[in-house]
Chain A
Amino acid sequence: MKVLVGVKRVLDPQVKARVKADKSGIDLTNAKMTMNPFCENAVEEAIRLREAGTVEEVVALSIGAAKSEETLRNALALGADRAILVLTDDVLEPLAIAKIIKAMVEKENPDLVLVGKQAIDDECNQTGQMVSALLGWPQATFASKLEIVDGTAQVTREVDSGLETINVNMPAVISADLRLNEPRYASLPNVMKAKRKPLEKIDISDLGLDTANRMTTLEVMEPPARASGVMVENVAELVEKLRNEAKVI
């Protein structure tokens, strides 16, 4: 079996996003970038499947600017066998990303596509669902447990009411939630080895796809600030304020 795993380069989740003064977007100049946390779970799961002998090859895919190579090298250091980078300087919507992933699936013929459930920058939570729709494959989103049994995938999903289990045919698209696994760190020898692993670069224009965005970002604003609060001395004062000032209890 072969797995294609999608990874996205995003602003480090520990860094607070700063809105540009001209409101055109987020200032990413010199900002610390990293692999999207949910993509780390997807990569980890793919590697564990290979370590368990279920999967023979893990191919990491990223779509973005040249610097996304860093994120792919990270995936290779974690254990992916090879990588593909589809180069574009445009910030694409999930629909366009899904079309590109579909094209890569048709090129690579994987049995499973693993992605993170959402990126922590645009917070769309769409790509996995869209890829499976375009391929006509089943989807299992927000996965917290994956077992491959008799050619099908048994997936536990994190839903608002608890945990849901579904069984999907293969090939399938699965999107990872945080509890799917605990991602490993890359060891230094593996980081060095990753530099020599194959990484194929494809220019987006060679794919001949319509990847035009359907939305225009008119402006990006700071969220409304909360009025500053007060510190209370003790529990009695807190309860008094909640009763008589905020009137919420």
Chain B
Amino acid sequence: MSILVIAEHDNASIVGATLHTVTAAQQMGGDIDLLIAGNGCSVAAQAAAQISGVNRVLLADDISLEGLLAENVANLVVSLAGNYSHVLTAATTFGKNFMPRAAALLDVSQISEISEVISADTFVRPVYAGNAMAKVQSSDSIKLITVRITKFDAVAETGGSATIEAVDAVADSGLSRFVGVSSSESERVELTSAAIVISGGRGMQNGENFHMLESVADKLGAAVGASRAAVDAGFVPNDYQVGQTGKVIAPELYIAVGISGAIQHLAGMKDSKTIVAINKDSEAPIFQVADYGLVADLFVAVPELDKAL
């Protein structure tokens, strides 16, 4: 058995999601190779070679991989997949984009967002917004899998000594072109990697009031998130969104402020280690998953919390 993990990187370093994916690969057993695909990504390959538990780093560095268009990444993965029993990537928007395409080209099913490894062919994955867990067994000869990273610990970023081998990229498909990416600017820690997250919901009333949460976040070294209701109301940009349709996170501490706790929001945060809910409605469903609930007006409680820290 041998496993190929498609790494996510920014050309200079490896995105944390990849470290969690390597842990899932280790639980399946077998040698683990890491693919670094991109344009100008050799520094990232050197970082990848340090990751604990990695056997080889395959480096595909080519102009055709600029912007990591799904067509070109999928063709590259297909060209390598024959050597492996399993191909894994994190269930991020990067992984979710190319992996099903590669699966269809290989005529195999993709096993989406596994949360647990039972054996080399049997996995658990959440369905219905995490309200049920399906245990599935795959009969495909090559298993293409995306990994829900919050369910697996990260391996160490250092301590490994993998060899780096160049592999050929595939020709540009010519089907699509990368135009650009715009990120919302934030000096705060990234939502998916933060140990503490404080999120606001519709109860925040407007975007201006999110400054109250930002002030608390700065004291705690936390990231700021939001419910879909707050995003839909235009209070904050979409990349703040925690939930079934946004980001799925599991920080050490999650503080939900003015969030009622719709099923789709709970799906994005209920694996957090400690959950705090502050809401003036004592009947709000968020209290059912909270370790600590405070029934209070958030416009009183949040400034108090800020002062107490």
Could you tell me which A residues sit within 8 Å of B by CB distance?
Answer: 11, 13-14, 16-17, 19, 26, 93-95, 98, 120-127, 129-134, 137-142, 144, 154, 157-169, 177-179, 213-223, 226-227, 229-232, 234-236, 238-239, 241-242, 246, 248-249
Contacts and interface: CB of A to CB of B under 8 A. Distances in A.
Given A129-B99, A168-B176, A232-B292, 13 more contacts: A121-B127, A132-B101, A138-B175, A157-B93, A162-B237, A216-B139, A217-B134, A221-B132, A226-B291, A227-B291, A231-B293, A235-B304, A246-B253
A44 to B, nearest CB: 15
A94 B111 CA distance: 10
25 contacts: A16-B263, A17-B127, A93-B109, A94-B109, A123-B128, A123-B129, A141-B96, A157-B93, A160-B192, A165-B180, A166-B176, A214-B139, A216-B139, A219-B134, A220-B127, A223-B131, A226-B289, A229-B275, A229-B293, A235-B296, A236-B308, A239-B305, A239-B309, A246-B274, A248-B252
Contacts, number: 243
Interface string B144-188: 000000000000000000000000000001111111111110000
- Closest 4 A/B residue pairs (Cβ): A138-B175, A17-B128, A126-B100, A130-B104
A142 B174 CA distance: 21
Nearest to A246: B274
Contacts of A130: 100-101, 103-104
A234 B98 CA distance: 48
B294 A220 contact: no
Given A126-B103, A129-B100, A214-B138, A242 B253 contact: yes
Given A163-B182, A167-B177, A239-B308, A215 B111 contact: yes
A238 B305 contact: yes
B101 A159 contact: no
Interface of B: 67, 69-71, 74, 92-94, 96-105, 107-113, 122, 124-140, 173-184, 192, 196, 220, 228, 237-239, 244-245, 247, 252-253, 263-264, 270, 273-276, 287, 289-296, 301, 304-305, 308-309
B60 to A, nearest CB: 19
Contacts of A98: 104
Contact of B220 (A140, A162, A213, A249): A249
Contact of B253 (A13, A14, A93, A249): A249
